[in-house]
A and B are shown apart, each in its own frame.
Chain A
Amino acid sequence: MTAPPAGLPEGRPDHDAANRLKSTEAADPGNHRPILTGSDLARITARIAHQILEKTRGATDTVLLGIPTRGVPLAARLADRIAAFEGVQVPVGTLDVTLYRDDLRLQRTRAVGPTDLPPGGIDGKRVILADDVLFSGRTVRAALDALNDLGRPSQVQLAVLVDRGHRQLPIRADYVGKNLPTSLAESVRVLLREVDGADAVLLAGPSEDTAPAAGGERR
């Protein structure tokens, strides 16, 4: 399995938030409620892999594209599970959506991440987008726009580890690890070994971060 260690450019909001989280976590573990543990995540990944195999009838002509940062290891893990279950090698790639976001002008400049399509491309393929948290749906909208410029998939599906609700666009996921009802004041943090050194899903209370700007991409 190739797990591309997602590069974390400096100043990336995700990264800062993760660091902030880790430091406060040590000081005040009560503020972050663990929702899923590492073994939960392993079971969920296995289940989604099975669902993909079932729904796509063997994952033929399928490409997994991870959205940085944590969608990238997720896509690699799904491909690894699919290979383990049925011996099918699903091509894995990375799709950075920074340049397609609709909130660029609301924040300071974001660092651009890598976009790597598998050698076969995506034309005529079934593309499954992988991301850690589905929230407003704006990241997925940006991803759909990016795909449109990169080729013409026959079908696009979406796999997420956590769906926390509060959609701002008519978007839904095809494969969901866990539906997690949240309030807007809470924030969901997915930790993956490849990026964060440990596997977990945490829910942080409203006291942690200041409230997000309207339409801001906070998780």
Chain B
Amino acid sequence: MITHLLSAADLDRSTATLVLDTATEMATVAGREVKKLPTLRGRTVVNLFYEDSTRTRTSFEVAAKRLSADVINFSAKGSSVSKGESLKDTALTLQAMGADAVVIRHSASGAPHRLARWVDGSVVNAGDGTHEHPTQALLDAYTMRSRLGTLEGLRVAIVGDVLHSRVARSNVLLLATLGAKVTLVSPPTLLPVGVGAWPCAVSYDLDAVLGDVDVVMMLRVQRERMNDSYFPSAREYARRYGLDVARAARLPEHAIVMHPGPMNRGMEIAPEVADSARATIVEQVANGVSVRMAVLYLLLGGKS
């Protein structure tokens, strides 16, 4: 088993499958009266969040608590970081306090990789800049597998702002490992340099792809990272790349609609589609807890 989870590419096929299988067992805990396992009793998990986040931080917190680990929430606001403390000094402080695992979200791509060299415990990447978000990819894969039965040969379209999306990159890497066929659909301006080397297909035309997919994953348009004019107007983007009611109607009967949240309703996804039965958005949140329990167990459960 791996020591850190920094990138979806750290997971080979058998390890990724082990995480998903373990998550299936962890999910049964959510249905019990006592939603608690003694497995990580006495272990400390630090949530080190340099960027705002509700669902990911809460999800990791719930996951760690269900496994009986102690959780320390550390957000950059109101900490020594606002007094100018560096990432390394913060890391050493946490190290001195005896953190067994550090879950980090940072606006700089690669911050978790740096951190992994400074601390003894396991580091889990909970989103670094526009780079990766491996646990999101795992929970997305878990959701697809539980809804559609298998990942092998599954046709997945990932639509929208790929350039700024850590979710897209992690999903492409993990889904390719697990045997799914991914197509990125995006305006040319929102595709990263070098996307040709990714293990996936690329298209600029959403309508051409829609009729032939099992999963369509809509990405959030990340306004906070838009420092340039990537498309003429929000309205034009929604017209060409938004999943509206008419487009959703052309999806195959069994196809599911995913979104990592938070959603811009009316922009990349129409409210009617987001609330429809084929949307898995709330399910993804619930699955997130199970998958993160599995990750924490597999990283911390054995001999360190």
B297 in contact with A99 (CB, 8 Å): yes
Instruction: Tell me the complex Cα distance, A100–B14, Å.
Output: 24
In the bound complex, residues from chain A placing their C-beta under 8 Å from that of B67 are: 99
Check A9/B21 contact, CB under 8 A, given A100-B39, A108-B1, A149-B36.
Answer: yes
Range class of the B interface residue count: 20 to 34
CB nearest to A106 among chain B residues: B303
**Residue from the set B33, B36, B304 with the largest chain A CB neighbour count within 10 Å:** B33
B binding-site residues for A, Cβ under 8 Å: 1, 14, 18, 21-22, 25-26, 28, 32-34, 36-39, 67, 297-298, 301-304
B18 in contact with A110 (CB, 8 Å): no
Instruction: Tell me the complex Cα distance, A105–B1, Å.
Output: 14
A105 in contact with B302 (CB, 8 Å): yes
Instruction: Tell me the complex Cα distance, A111–B25, Å.
Output: 10
CB nearest to B26 among chain A residues: A112
Instruction: Tell me the complex Cα distance, A104–B302, Å.
Output: 5
Name the prevailing secondary structure of the B interface residues: loop
A140 to chain B, nearest CB (A): 16
Does A80 count as interface, using CB distance less than 8 angstroms? no
B25 in contact with A115 (CB, 8 Å): yes
Instruction: Tell me the complex Cα distance, A114–B21, Å.
Output: 9
Does A28 count as interface, using CB distance less than 8 angstroms? no
In the bound complex, residues from chain A placing their C-beta under 8 Å from that of B22 are: 111-112
A113 to chain B, nearest CB (A): 7
Within 8 A of B (CB), among A1-46: 9-10
Instruction: Tell me the complex Cα distance, A117–B217, Å.
Output: 35
Does A209 count as interface, using CB distance less than 8 angstroms? no
What 14 additional pairs, Cβ within 8 angstroms, besides A100-B38, A104-B301, A110-B302? A10-B14, A99-B67, A104-B39, A107-B302, A107-B303, A108-B302, A111-B21, A111-B22, A112-B21, A112-B297, A113-B25, A145-B38, A149-B32, A151-B33
B28 in contact with A115 (CB, 8 Å): yes
B39 in contact with A99 (CB, 8 Å): yes
